[in-house]
Chains A and B, each alone.
Chain A
């Protein structure tokens, strides 16, 4: 920006200071939980920000805890399958919405938007009752279904926004050459659509990885309990020991993938977040 270049020394200093403060503010609680996880059990109560002695004992106890391993596996599996399912269904719908003329096109987008605003607490009661009847309570599909549904709007909106940017003449050319719409989709459009699909997948995965309400309402054992529930209900190795260290270590373990994804794909994530909101 022109104004940034000729701004005064003081303004630049102010801005630099502001940037440092924002970064500190954003990363501070993360640093705090990392620090807690590295303290020895005896030092947990020292109320210091930085550990006096670094120790891996909480990580060892967390990885030796069958409850946590099960939760980690459930989280990865359930969020992974929900992501694939939501992106796949979202892709079909977004393709139809962007590419094909049909009645009800706008209705689908509006319905998706309505679901994005929907309060999950309004349906946990019925789902709880339905899942118990159908045998889905405390199972993987019992969580995959709501995750997939609640992220479909996100997938459809993000994918539609990305699909609109694709040069569709290529698709027409393929169809003129005798390809069916489906062939045109798989061979011409899909390769161009990969960035958008990837963005949608990241956002969907983050939702499923983060959910707490559905998992504590629709599961009761290690069968399908995911990490957020495991962290909230950690019981520690003995009943009398407060499991602060284990909670901190488990929190760090599940935050590492998030930070990696953010570092690697920050531009995609931001593009996906703002795709629906900014473009008219």
Chain B
């Protein structure tokens, strides 16, 4: 028996090895390398001046208003867009859940924003709000250049994010809704609960695990926001996010030391968000890992 079990272990590891190896080489090793680089003064434009400086890069980043502004912007975008997406996603999901004939049509149309390239979505909305090309100003009678002012630029960015990602939320919630037992809702109705009470006291509690998983994934995804901001403002007008800051420091300014410190800080933020959700809101991810 031990021989067979040993053979099974070997086969299992053989089958998993390529995937595990790829994940280690392309994510684990680089994040370690990032950590290492972040301890050096290392600017690719002046490679000769590379030297160990300990935590100085972190002190520079944390001492710079640019980092805090980018973090604030990112959190603002994350909180606002995820909150709106949850409400809107619920509305869409309820609509699809109750619609018999229209469900297929709605689902297909919602998959279009989900599937479309983010850069394309960002371009489309950028042109829509453009003062010389777009129809938004013509339609609303407004005159402003939306992307030239901080808060209206944020509005365009929110709008794009919400349009692009609400479908994901709606489809996850719909999948959860279909698993709520109809008997339970009928029983509640017999007991005299109205539609609101049924929703808040029966449906919502049963959906809690699905909502939390959807929120976790969307929050982490929103925190990484890059494409939309890059296409619409490139981070100008005070709309820089942490991913844009990281990209600019690393790839545009080629400052690998400072940029790596930004990278590591972003990584820690994401880790903190994940831990907050999993510990704080009690998402049971381990049950999802059970086979």
Partner-B contacts on A (CB < 8 A): 1-4, 15-16, 18-19, 22-23, 25-27, 29-30, 32-33, 36, 44-45, 47-49, 89-90, 92-93, 95-98, 100-106, 108-113, 115, 117-130, 145-146, 148-150, 152-153, 156, 160, 164, 181, 206, 209-210, 212-213, 216-217, 227-228, 231-232, 244, 247-248, 251, 254-255, 258-259, 261-263, 266, 269-270, 273-274, 276-278, 280
Contacts and interface: CB of A to CB of B under 8 A. Distances in A.
Given A212-B227, A216-B251, A266-B108, 4 more contacts: A92-B16, A106-B291, A149-B25, A217-B247
B119 A228 contact: yes
Given A100-B12, A119-B270, A258 B19 contact: no
A4 B102 CA distance: 13
B23 A112 contact: yes
Given A4-B98, A149-B23, A263 B289 contact: no
Contacts of B226: 121, 212-213
B230 interface: yes
Interface in B18-72: 18-20, 22-23, 25-27, 29-31, 33-34, 37
Nearest to B9: A102
Given A101-B8, A277-B213, A115 B23 contact: yes
20 contacts: A1-B182, A15-B95, A26-B112, A27-B109, A48-B138, A89-B18, A95-B15, A115-B27, A122-B30, A123-B30, A125-B37, A156-B19, A212-B230, A228-B119, A231-B123, A244-B133, A261-B115, A270-B171, A278-B175, A278-B176
B15 A206 contact: no
Contacts of B109: 22-23, 26-27
Contacts of B259: 125
A148 B9 CA distance: 25
Contacts of B217: 117, 277
Interface residues of A, dominant DSSP = helix
Interface residues of B, number: 104
A133 to B, nearest CB: 11
B193 interface: no
Contact of B250 (A18, A48, A97, A128): A128
A146 B290 CA distance: 27
A77 B102 CA distance: 37
B165 interface: no
Nearest to B36: A126
Nearest to B198: A3
B210 interface: yes
B118 A212 contact: yes
Contacts of A210: 117-118
B238 interface: no
Nearest to B241: A121
Interface in B241-258: 242-243, 246-247, 250-251, 256
Contacts of B133: 36, 44-45, 47, 244
Nearest to B227: A212
B155 interface: no
